[in-house]
Chains A and B, each alone.
Chain A
Amino acid sequence: MDQHPDFKCSIDDNSGILVAIHVIRTGKTPFAPAQWEQVLEAITRYRLLCFENTPREIHFRYQVRQSCLKQDPPGTPQPIHRRVFGLICLALGEAGSDVEAEKREILHQYNGLLVHYGQTVLDTRCIVFRNSAAETRVGQVEEEDKAEAGLSERQKNGRPSINQSTNQSINQPINQPTNQSTNQSTNQSTNQSTNQSINQSINQSNTSSSLNRANGLIINQSITNANGLGFDLLRPVHKSLSEANLSSAAANSSTATKIAKTYIEIQIRDALRERISQVMEDFLLALFSSVEAKRPMSVPDKADKDWKGSNPSLDKLEPPVKKDGFKFDLGNAQKKKRLGGMRKIFAEWLLIAGLPYPACQYFAQAVDMLQSAKEILLLAAALEGWAAASYCVLPAADSQLALKLTALDEPDRKIILTRTKAASLNGYLVNGFNLHVPDHAKDRKHCLTSDAIYDKLRLAASTYSMGGRGDLELEVSLKLARLFMFLGDRILAHKGLRQATFVKIDALPNDSTERVDRFLTIAQLYEEIGFRRQAALFRLLAADRCIGPGSTPATVAEAFRLTVRSLAPYSLTLSTKPTAHHGWPELQAQVLIKLSATCRSQHAIYSRLLLIILETFSEVLSTAEKEDLLKSLSDVISHHGSPQGEVALEDGGIALADGGIALGVVSLTKIPFVHEFTPMPLPHHLQPLLRPKLKRGISGPFLYTPIKSASQLAVKDAGEADFMWVAHEPCELTLHLSNRLPRELRVDNLTILTGDTSTFESARASLILPPIIGPVFPVVIAGIPLEPGLLTILGYTFSVFGMENRCQLTELTQFQRNPPPRTVRVAPSLPQLKVDTSWPPCDMFVDVGEAVVGTASLVLYNGQRSTCSIKLHNIGREPIESLSVLVSSNDNVTADRCISFDSAALEAALPIKPGDTAELDLNVWAALSFSGAPNTEAASSSLTPQPVPEPLQFVLRIDYSGGPGLLENYYRLLSVAFFIDVIPSVAITHWSILSAEEPEQFYLVIDFDNRTDEEIEVLYPPDKKMLIVGRDRARIPALADRIPLLFSDSLAVAQDACRQHMSEKIDLRWEFVERPISGHCWIGDLTWDPADIEALSLPPVLVEFVCDGATVVKARSDGITVDVGTPVELDVRLTNRFSTRLSGLRVLLGFREESLVSDEVSGHKVALIGGISDVVIDLGREGNETLNCQVVMLVPGVFHLDAIFELAGRRWSVVDTCCVTAAAVASGTAPSSVESSTDL
């Protein structure tokens, strides 16, 4: 008894008179879809019958039925609104076929239907459409208005008079009372026989039928012909079978066949539509009239009474009260059930008759009674009906709803019946205007509000559920949902749909499409109330059912279509890549997996979809899912190859609303996933460098100007790498790859994508990534830039699964925050230099603060000299045209002292052609500080650690260039690090200055300390040697000339001058006695105090003493001898030794007695006459000055005349220059002039 629920049901159905539409198939050609729609549209035009100036409205409901539904078994109460009261049969006659045979066939089938619906049907029509066979290609519509086949039954039921009169009144113009009259009217032999046969057939099926009539209506209606010569021809409508028409049709039947074939479809013209409408209007009025006639006028008050007026149809349909001859006293419950059931039926009649107010009242009574009678199904139907009736009167109470309904009003679909028209159709309408409604019935006491309607419908649904009628429960739920959707309450509609989802219908077969239809209906309704996500979920559920066991290609295609429609609510589109930030990634992955499952037959789309899933959702997929997807993918690709380019759906019978889908090329950015993409700089020594251009001075009168020149504005591109590559030389990029898939991944042709492929030649790499490894699988890809300029790196390309992939760096999310350089500047080609040194490389790692290409190391004694031969090979393609060598060290002073080379020889070797070699000799003097603390006894013991060798580090920087690079000011820098371990030889522990015999010389007294265990000879000027045994010390006096120091120099400058002078002029050497190792001591770092500096500096003034005129005495040993008391003329001649002017030079002269050391001789022993003992003079450049004086020795003795100069706070003393011996006068020797000069 279960049947497929009607998914299109709505609450309006309960108040409509049901008209079934059947198609009768005679030939092979069914209605074309468009044609069928037009026909159906015309047939179902009228939905409403209104009576002028009354609120009464009759609804008509049409149901297209493909086959006869299984009737409920007799005795089952069938609600009135489910009864088929009207029947429309449609047939399409084939042109050229045997018209009569066709008619027989149509009538046969028609009769079958009449028998089927005979119990309920009140009025019928059969409409035959025919393609005209005429040359004008006239479409013929043949309508056969048949009398009710159920007439005999109705006659039996006891109300024949109404039916007869009704039928007669309808058919009066065309109907003939008997078969004979029909035959007479047609006068056509063929027609006669047809009618006879029709009648026979009808008579066979309805043996008691006596009033069968066959009447024909032929509507000749022009239709557009296939040649485009459309002209309309309206022939008069013949109300009987027209002889002329039939004969012409018969005459042309032979030639018509081929013409008829050219017809593709019939387009229904307005006139035809009008005609159909008119027929339908007649039909509906007749139908209403019949219904009205059938409707019981009142309901019995007592259970044992029957319907008043003994309505035959009611008796037939209701379970009769059993009357077994005994009068049973029905039980109370039985009575209530019967009364309630009758009230329910009465109310249903009222409802379809457009009388909702009394319907509400009777429904309410019925519900009351049935509830106490516990009659579940009847109760549910009553509740449903009550809700439907209440809905009909709802607009009266709700002005908003009334307004909405008015807006939706379609006057076209209404038949408005005026009183005059009704009067002209006398007999049709028994009580159309006679409402039979008492005035008080309009009260709303029993009418429900919308909330109450919801409750009643929910109650009805659950009551049906209790009664085991899942299909009815589902229908009520859908009605509820649609009702509240219309009323605008989305939440209640949602609740109704929720109810409908979970209704269990037990009796349906397994292969039933009921579930799919139900889900689709629910999805559709959800979409209509704006619940997109719910709709998508139900579409997916429906799709799941479609591809379940027993699926056919058609259902799979349907599943695909449904899944595609459900993508959008999950924020998925197939045209663009899914973004991670919208929607629910796990669900998106699942939806796409479902979608892929529905298009397995579309290999290209299938594999493309799998790729999209793996690419986009690899993070959210489980390992097992990835395994499955990969397996499917490799299967598809191995059988059908990998899809190339844009793939679109093949013609697999899948038609989508938006014209199908096409999947663009997927760029796999995550298979394999690239963690790092780094263009690598060239090795340090090969990196090209750009010589800075000389800055031009500020042009213009302004120190500052806001106007910037083009070169200033050229800001360096942010994406440009901070290094350069060189044309025609290999460069590298590093990619860190990982494979997140649980299978081995073969990556082929991994290569670099550059902006202009002609400027870069990239190598290709192929590799196999193991499944799910850690983030780093580094791959180095080499390439050669071919042209200087700016090289743009776009990304990388590779192929996996046989598919080419281009990955642009800008599209990769992992590089959004920290993008790799997008451009690399390529320098013009440059030579390449390779350096070899004669020294062995350093055997330990030393950080020299810069990248070096090689190292060289040696061990030297302090002061030892050595030479390193450096070979420069040109291994590049360009000649080396410019080359310069620079020594760089932390201590440039030391480096300058220790390292020297001949740069002129290097210049001469240029240019070095490719493949050629040049040599450079580097002279190294390990001249570190010799000064050191004296070795104490304890220090010299073996317990102390050996002294750590001091390192001498420097870097030799060779900057070179050549070829095109040189023209553009590019060069390369190559560095070699030198490490010289300096071990101590001798050390200077103490030093001092002693005056030499000559005033212009001095002794440097040095204590040497032998820091080795071997004997060392120290050689010092003048040509002397001193042997020092191991770990011993010795003092040597080295003779040296005094140093001319400028008086203006500060102490520090003087200090430096002394050091430099000494290191240059005093040649101190050492050599091992046993070994041929020697060295020079460097004494440039000895420190001198002011006294020392004074002692070793040459005074600025040369003092000469002239005694007795021009006589210049230079003797040092004896000097002059004078008599005591005799004055002697003594001139002091001062000469400026320097080229600067000496102004304010103070000269102090004083005698000193030889026997006394310190004090100056007081005036009582020597008298210096002339006032020159303390003078201040100015000396010009290289000028001289003579001071004249007389000396009188007052006592005998040996006196020295000292000169002391003071200038600018400095002081020089010239001592022991002039020695005066005073002899007693007794000796009689005459005083002689003395001159002595001292040159310090």
Chain B
Amino acid sequence: MNSPQFGRLYFVIIGHRDQPLFEFEALKQEENLSIPREDYRHLCQFVAHAALDAVEANLTGPTGTQMFFKNIDRFNEWSVSAFVTTSQIKFLLLHPVRDESQSALRKEEADIIRNFFFAVYEHFIKLMLNPFYELDSEITSRGFREKVHQSVKKHLLNL
């Protein structure tokens, strides 16, 4: 597997009908991708969409009461972690797979991602309290994006 490249992150909030409510890409500017950026994003979307099956399987499985599911799916260098809100809105984070050699980091990683998800969840709850926001509709709030951006910076980019 490729060496971990933090900064290649893709975060998406997915609604009840598999539609994306909010997308956030954290891609370092200087990073040289082997494929066009557009295709790269589409690949992320395909992976996130496919990972929904695993999320749903986990929800109906014995761990269904959890909110946070780490590494539920994998695709090439991506690992997918998920967070399901009580209103069944799914947060998915695509992050690079860690090597076996970095097992110490892997343990830490779970906590970091969990913290990130809960930070975003808090913002999301605040957004839900907004009477002008309708559940399961696209999130266009710039404030929310800004907050997610800050959470990514705080929790994920400094891993």
Docked CA distance A590–B38 (Å): 11
Q: Report whether B19 and A590 are in contact in the complex, using a CB–CB cutoff of 8 Å.
A: no
Q: Which of B1-48 contact A (CB under 8 A)?
A: 17-20, 38, 42, 45-47
Query: Which residue from chain B places its CB closest to the CB of A531 in the assembled complex?
Result: B53
Docked CA distance A272–B49 (Å): 52
Could you mark each residue 476-507 of chain A with 1 if its beta carbon is under 8 Å from any beta carbon of chain B, else 0?
00000000000000110010001001100000
Given A498-B73, A587-B42, A622-B38: A532 and B17 interface contact (C-beta under 8 Å): no
CB contacts (< 8 Å) of A777 on chain B: these are none
Could you mark each residue 523-539 of chain A with 1 if its beta carbon is under 8 Å from any beta carbon of chain B, else 0?
00010011111101100
CB contacts (< 8 Å) of B52 on chain A: these are 533
Q: Which of A606-659 contact B (CB under 8 A)?
A: 622, 624-625
Among listed B54-62, B106-114, B139-147, interface-contacting one: B54-62
Given A490-B57, A491-B57, A494-B57: A583 and B18 interface contact (C-beta under 8 Å): yes
CB contacts (< 8 Å) of A540 on chain B: these are 46
CB contacts (< 8 Å) of A622 on chain B: these are 38
Docked CA distance A533–B38 (Å): 21
Question: When the two chains form the complex, which single residue of B20, B38, B57, B73 contacts A584, counting CB atoms closer than 8 Å?
Answer: B20
Given A533-B49, A537-B49, A584-B49: A494 and B54 interface contact (C-beta under 8 Å): yes
CB contacts (< 8 Å) of B74 on chain A: these are 498, 501-502
Docked CA distance A794–B64 (Å): 51
Any chain A CB within 8 A of the CB of B130? no
Query: Which residue from chain A places its CB closest to the CB of B100 in the assembled complex?
Result: A462
Interface size on B, residues (CB 8 A): 21
Docked CA distance A583–B14 (Å): 10
Question: When the two chains form the complex, which single residue of A490, A530, A537, A584 contacts B19, counting CB atoms closer than 8 Å?
Answer: A584
Q: Which of B143-158 contact A (CB under 8 A)?
A: none
Any chain A CB within 8 A of the CB of B105? no
Could you mark each residue 563-581 of chain A with 1 if its beta carbon is under 8 Å from any beta carbon of chain B, else 0?
0000000110000000001
Question: When the two chains form the complex, which single residue of A491, A529, A582, A584 contacts B45, counting CB atoms closer than 8 Å?
Answer: A584
Any chain A CB within 8 A of the CB of B128? no
Any chain B CB within 8 A of the CB of A585? yes
Query: Which residue from chain A places its CB closest to the CB of B61 in the assembled complex?
Result: A491
Q: Report whether B54 and A590 are in contact in the complex, using a CB–CB cutoff of 8 Å.
A: no
Question: When the two chains form the complex, which single residue of B38, B42, B57, B75 contacts A531, counting CB atoms closer than 8 Å?
Answer: B57
Any chain B CB within 8 A of the CB of A586? yes
Q: Report whether B17 and A583 are in contact in the complex, using a CB–CB cutoff of 8 Å.
A: yes
Question: When the two chains form the complex, which single residue of B17, B49, B50, B75 contacts A582, counting CB atoms closer than 8 Å?
Answer: B17
Q: Report whether A526 and B53 are in contact in the complex, using a CB–CB cutoff of 8 Å.
A: yes
CB contacts (< 8 Å) of A625 on chain B: these are 38
| Most B CB within 10 A of own CB, among A530, A531, A584, A590 | A584
CB contacts (< 8 Å) of A501 on chain B: these are 74-75
Q: Report whether A537 and B50 are in contact in the complex, using a CB–CB cutoff of 8 Å.
A: yes
Q: Report whether A536 and B18 are in contact in the complex, using a CB–CB cutoff of 8 Å.
A: no
CB contacts (< 8 Å) of B57 on chain A: these are 490-491, 494, 529-531
A623 nearest CB across to chain B (Å): 10
Given A491-B57, A587-B49: A581 and B19 interface contact (C-beta under 8 Å): yes
Question: When the two chains form the complex, which single residue of B17, B38, B42, B47 contacts A571, counting CB atoms closer than 8 Å?
Answer: B17
Given A530-B53, A533-B50, A586-B42: A491 and B58 interface contact (C-beta under 8 Å): yes
B113 nearest CB across to chain A (Å): 18
A543 nearest CB across to chain B (Å): 13
Q: Report whether A533 and B19 are in contact in the complex, using a CB–CB cutoff of 8 Å.
A: no
Docked CA distance A529–B61 (Å): 13
CB contacts (< 8 Å) of A498 on chain B: these are 73-74
Any chain A CB within 8 A of the CB of B76? yes
Question: When the two chains form the complex, which single residue of A531, A571, A581 contacts B54, counting CB atoms closer than 8 Å?
Answer: A531
Query: Which residue from chain B places its CB closest to the CB of A624 in the assembled complex?
Result: B38
Docked CA distance A498–B45 (Å): 18
Question: When the two chains form the complex, which single residue of B20, B49, B61, B73 contacts A490, counting CB atoms closer than 8 Å?
Answer: B61
Could you mark each residue 1126-1160 of chain A with 1 if its beta carbon is under 8 Å from any beta carbon of chain B, else 0?
00000000000000000000000000000000000
Could you mark each residue 837-874 of chain A with 1 if its beta carbon is under 8 Å from any beta carbon of chain B, else 0?
00000000000000000000000000000000000000
Q: What secondary structure prevails in chain B residues at the interface with A?
A: helix
Query: Which residue from chain B places its CB closest to the CB of A490 in the assembled complex?
Result: B57
Could you mark each residue 400-431 of chain A with 1 if its beta carbon is under 8 Å from any beta carbon of chain B, else 0?
00000000000000000000000000000000
Query: Which residue from chain A places its CB closest to the CB of B63 in the assembled complex?
Result: A491
Docked CA distance A536–B50 (Å): 8
CB contacts (< 8 Å) of B19 on chain A: these are 581-585
Q: Which of B65-119 contact A (CB under 8 A)?
A: 73-76
Query: Which residue from chain A places its CB closest to the CB of B18 in the assembled complex?
Result: A583
Docked CA distance A530–B57 (Å): 9
Given A502-B76, A586-B42: A491 and B53 interface contact (C-beta under 8 Å): no
Docked CA distance A590–B39 (Å): 10
Docked CA distance A536–B74 (Å): 16
Docked CA distance A498–B47 (Å): 12
CB contacts (< 8 Å) of A584 on chain B: these are 18-20, 45, 49
Docked CA distance A532–B17 (Å): 14
Question: When the two chains form the complex, which single residue of A491, A529, A571, A590 contacts B18, counting CB atoms closer than 8 Å?
Answer: A571
Query: Which residue from chain B places its CB closest to the CB of A526 in the assembled complex?
Result: B53
Docked CA distance A585–B57 (Å): 24
Question: When the two chains form the complex, which single residue of A534, A570, A582, A583 contacts B53, counting CB atoms closer than 8 Å?
Answer: A534
Given A571-B18, A581-B17, A582-B17: A532 and B49 interface contact (C-beta under 8 Å): no
Could you mark each residue 425-459 of chain A with 1 if its beta carbon is under 8 Å from any beta carbon of chain B, else 0?
00000000000000000000000000000000000
Q: Which of A505-533 contact B (CB under 8 A)?
A: 526, 529-533
Docked CA distance A532–B51 (Å): 10
Docked CA distance A491–B38 (Å): 31
Docked CA distance A161–B42 (Å): 69
Query: Which residue from chain B places its CB closest to the CB of A489 in the assembled complex?
Result: B61
CB contacts (< 8 Å) of A590 on chain B: these are 42, 45-46
A624 nearest CB across to chain B (Å): 8
Q: Report whether A570 and B17 are in contact in the complex, using a CB–CB cutoff of 8 Å.
A: no
CB contacts (< 8 Å) of B50 on chain A: these are 531, 533-534, 536-537
| Most A CB within 10 A of own CB, among B50, B58, B73 | B50
Given A498-B73, A571-B17, A583-B17: A533 and B45 interface contact (C-beta under 8 Å): no
A566 nearest CB across to chain B (Å): 11
Docked CA distance A624–B39 (Å): 12
Query: Which residue from chain A places its CB closest to the CB of B76 in the assembled complex?
Result: A502
A1065 nearest CB across to chain B (Å): 74
CB contacts (< 8 Å) of B20 on chain A: these are 584, 586
Docked CA distance A1176–B74 (Å): 120
B48 nearest CB across to chain A (Å): 9
CB contacts (< 8 Å) of A491 on chain B: these are 54, 57-58, 61
Q: Which of A541-572 contact B (CB under 8 A)?
A: 570-571
CB contacts (< 8 Å) of A536 on chain B: these are 50
CB contacts (< 8 Å) of B54 on chain A: these are 491, 494, 531, 534
Docked CA distance A585–B21 (Å): 11
Docked CA distance A585–B47 (Å): 15
Q: Report whether B17 and A587 are in contact in the complex, using a CB–CB cutoff of 8 Å.
A: no
Q: Report whether A587 and B46 are in contact in the complex, using a CB–CB cutoff of 8 Å.
A: yes
Could you mark each residue 226-240 of chain A with 1 if its beta carbon is under 8 Å from any beta carbon of chain B, else 0?
000000000000000
Docked CA distance A530–B61 (Å): 13
- Known interface pairs A491-B57, A491-B58, A533-B52; 15 further A-B residue pairs with C-beta atoms within 8 A, sorted by A's residue number: A494-B53, A498-B74, A501-B74, A533-B49, A533-B53, A540-B46, A570-B49, A571-B17, A581-B19, A582-B19, A585-B19, A586-B42, A587-B46, A587-B49, A625-B38
Closest 6 CB pairs of A and B: A531-B53, A537-B50, A490-B57, A534-B50, A533-B53, A533-B50
Residues of A within 8 A of B (CB): 490-491, 494, 498, 501-502, 526, 529-534, 536-537, 540, 570-571, 581-587, 590, 622, 624-625
26 contacts between A and B (CB under 8 A): A491-B54, A494-B53, A494-B57, A498-B73, A501-B75, A502-B76, A526-B53, A531-B50, A531-B54, A531-B57, A533-B18, A533-B50, A537-B47, A540-B46, A571-B17, A571-B18, A581-B19, A583-B18, A583-B19, A584-B19, A584-B20, A585-B19, A586-B42, A587-B46, A587-B49, A590-B45
